[in-house]
């Protein structure tokens, strides 16, 4: 089923609001995305490392992600509205983290072939791979060597052999743990989607220390905190009620204006029907 | 069909939220509009070079650089319901449906490029109206410090051929855009007829000409600021499942920043 009328929306089953609150800020670079998954709070801490170099599909049951109550049989779930704030000016972006692989040690130049990674197709509305985003996530501080992490992937048209590099083509030298960085999909293959991560290569100069993970994410919502401490609210007409699943791994990313993540607080209202 | 009431909106087919973001910034000129089309992000980069100077082309979402729009249901009408936008710099953000483009026209020769058999973009116009369409130039290759001008001859909404004003592109940097003024009394653009390069011949530079339908705009008033507009603000402009959604950034200062859009598109 699905929510298809005003009456159904009004009468939809609503879950107790999901809370995302990380009370312990940490130091960042301005304008750079970070994950706070490893911080204590609500939900409790998880890990930046995927803990599986062959890749896994994280769910709400995985440590660090808020628990979503199971939907009724045949029901469709939606992210209905979001209330959000932070102690610092920042951007908040909410994803469904549909796949992650790692951590890959950066201390040896090698290629990790994933073989047959698990499919995340069941977490994609309409089965569409288009518009998915690929990020790296640092799980151990990287030393100063000029090490890079190109990946290869299969695109939304099942064409394998695509390559992607860190946006801007740079290395991850001196990247600190919890820092994230976007990948640039291959424009020659239209760069519009990714259906599978095929391999991860540690290239350049081997690092003395460092570990990286690759995340594939579906963007659900974004908002800006222009005034620290201000509380903002996006109702169902603004969120447009993106479909989520009762297994979705809801994953906020913080992009602070300054040098602290601040203390974000996000309340997510989920409806099903 | 069309979305005619709140139930229609709630029950419409909703494409998963569409990401349109750029993860590399470019150098700009303060308060001037710029294309970020060739910058990396989601979707991947497109090309500043149209690759057609004889007829021009009608770009679609299938072309590199434009976000993919899911095919609408049979007979359905598509809309932009809401836009969640932000940028790392203070700026104005605009979103267009890029209906037509032609170029690159070199600026190192004073000449008129006359087009023929131009493809129609009628199918991308709600109500079939040409009114309100804009003609813009986009600098595909940086222009030398020469007083080179660009003028466009176009057919207006009443089938009258007219000239725009001449834009002096002296020293314009790559990706900079500028809007042509239509002739007095004109309200729309049906077709581009020709492009004339005049003034002082340039030593370097090329230009593309775009016809664009504006869908939305907002002000990002602070660094890392954003604006989330629901249907009461967007007014749910009609788009098509072939629309070539194209952002334009007019930064307050000398960097485009990293503009980011999450666009919600229902059809019903």
Cis peptide before A43 (omega within 30 of 0): yes
Among the partner residues B5, B40, B262, nearest to A219 by beta-carbon distance: B262
Chain B residues within an 8 Å CB radius of A187: 40, 44-46, 64-65
Instruction: For chain A, list residues with pLDDT below 70.
Output: 187-191
pLDDT digits (tens, 9 = 90+) for A233-256: 999 999 999 999 999 999 999 999
Taking only residues 87 to 106 of chain A, the set having a beta carbon closer than 8 angstroms to any beta carbon of chain B reads 89-91, 93
Interchain contact, A125 vs B16, CB within 8 Å = yes
DSSP category for residue A24: -
ipTM of the complex: 0.84
pLDDT of residue A190: 58
Angstrom distances, CA of residue B268 to CA of A80, B5, B61, B74: 20, 11, 19, 9
Q: Are A269 and A34 in contact (CB under 8 A)?
A: no
Q: Is A9 on the interface with B (CB under 8 A)?
A: yes
Q: Using CA atoms, how far apart are residues B87 and A158, in angstroms rounded to an integer?
A: 33
Q: How far is A223 from chain B (nearest CA, A)?
A: 6
pLDDT digits (tens, 9 = 90+) for A200-226: 999 999 999 999 999 999 999 999 999
Among the partner residues B18, B82, B224, nearest to A238 by beta-carbon distance: B82
A-chain residue closest to B84, CA distance: A222
Cβ atoms < 10 Å from Cβ of B198: 15
pTM to 2 decimal places = 0.90
Tokens, residue B16: 């998963």
Q: Which helix H or strand E contains A9, and what residues bound it?
A: helix A6-10
Report the SS3 class of residue A76: coil
Interchain contact, B227 vs A133, CB within 8 Å = no
Taking only residues 65 to 84 of chain A, the set having a beta carbon closer than 8 angstroms to any beta carbon of chain B reads none
B101-140 residues labelled b (16+ CB within 10 A) or e (exposed):
bbbbbbbbeeeebebeebeebeebbeeeebeebbbbbbbb
Give residue limits of the domains in chain B.
Answer: 15-267
pLDDT digits (tens, 9 = 90+) for B101-134: 999 999 999 999 999 999 999 999 999 999 999 9
Q: How far is B170 from chain A (nearest CA, A)?
A: 30
């Amino acid at each position: 089923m699905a929510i298809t009328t005003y009456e159904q929306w009004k009468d939809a089953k609503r879950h107790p609001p999901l809370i995302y609150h990380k009370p312990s800020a940490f130091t960042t670079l301005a304008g750079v995305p970070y994950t706070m998954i490893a911080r204590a709070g609500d939900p409790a801490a998880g890990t930046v490392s995927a803990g599986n170099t062959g890749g896994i599909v994280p769910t709400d049951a995985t440590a660090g992600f808020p628990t979503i109550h199971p939907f009724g049989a045949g029901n469709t779930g939606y992210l209905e509205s979001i209330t959000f704030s932070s102690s610092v000016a920042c951007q908040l972006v909410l994803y469904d983290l549909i796949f992650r692989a790692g951590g890959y040690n950066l201390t040896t130049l090698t290629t990790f072939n994933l073989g047959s990674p698990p499919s995340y197709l069941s977490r994609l509305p309409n089965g569409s791979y288009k518009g998915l985003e690929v990020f790296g996530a640092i799980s151990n501080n990287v030393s100063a060597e000029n090490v890079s992490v190109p990946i290869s992937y299969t695109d939304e048209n099942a064409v394998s052999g695509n390559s992607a590099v860190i946006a801007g083509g740079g290395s991850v030298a001196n990247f600190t743990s919890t820092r994230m960085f976007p990948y640039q999909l291959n424009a020659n293959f239209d760069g519009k989607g990714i259906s599978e991560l095929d391999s991860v290569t540690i290239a350049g100069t081997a690092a003395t220390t460092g570990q990286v993970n690759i995340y594939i994410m579906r963007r659900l919502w974004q908002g800006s905190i222009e005034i620290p401490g201000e509380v903002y609210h996006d109702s169902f007409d603004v969120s447009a009620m993106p479909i989520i699943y009762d297994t979705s791994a809801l994953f906020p990313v913080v992009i602070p204006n300054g040098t602290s993540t601040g203390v974000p607080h996000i309340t997510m209202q989920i409806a099903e029907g | 069909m069309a979305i005619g009431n709140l139930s229609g909106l709630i029950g419409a087919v909703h494409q998963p939220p569409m990401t349109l973001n750029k993860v590399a910034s470019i150098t700009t000129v303060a308060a001037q509009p710029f294309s970020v089309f060739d910058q990396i992000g989601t979707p991947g980069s497109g090309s500043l070079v149209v690759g057609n100077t004889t007829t021009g082309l009608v770009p679609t979402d299938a072309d590199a650089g434009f976000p993919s729009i899911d095919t609408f249901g049979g007979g359905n009408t598509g809309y932009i319901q809401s836009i969640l936008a932000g940028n790392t710099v203070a700026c104005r953000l605009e979103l267009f449906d890029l209906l037509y483009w032609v170029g690159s026209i070199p600026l190192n020769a004073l000449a008129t490029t006359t087009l023929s058999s131009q493809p129609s973009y009628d199918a991308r116009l709600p109500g079939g109206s040409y009114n309100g369409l804009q003609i813009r130039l986009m600098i595909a290759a940086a222009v030398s410090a020469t007083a080179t001008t660009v003028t466009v001859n176009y057919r207006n909404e009443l089938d009258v051929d007219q000239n725009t004003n001449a834009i002096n592109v002296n020293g314009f940097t790559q990706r900079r855009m500028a809007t042509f003024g239509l002739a007095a009394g004109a309200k729309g653009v049906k077709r581009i007829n020709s492009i004339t390069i005049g003034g002082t011949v340039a030593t370097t530079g090329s230009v593309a000409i775009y016809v664009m339908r504006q869908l939305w705009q907002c002000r990002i008033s602070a660094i890392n600021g954003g604006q989330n507009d629901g249907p009461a603000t967007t007014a749910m402009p009609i788009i098509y499942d072939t629309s070539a959604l194209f952002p334009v950034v007019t930064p307050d200062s000398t960097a485009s920043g990293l503009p980011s859009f999450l666009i919600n598109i229902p059809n019903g």
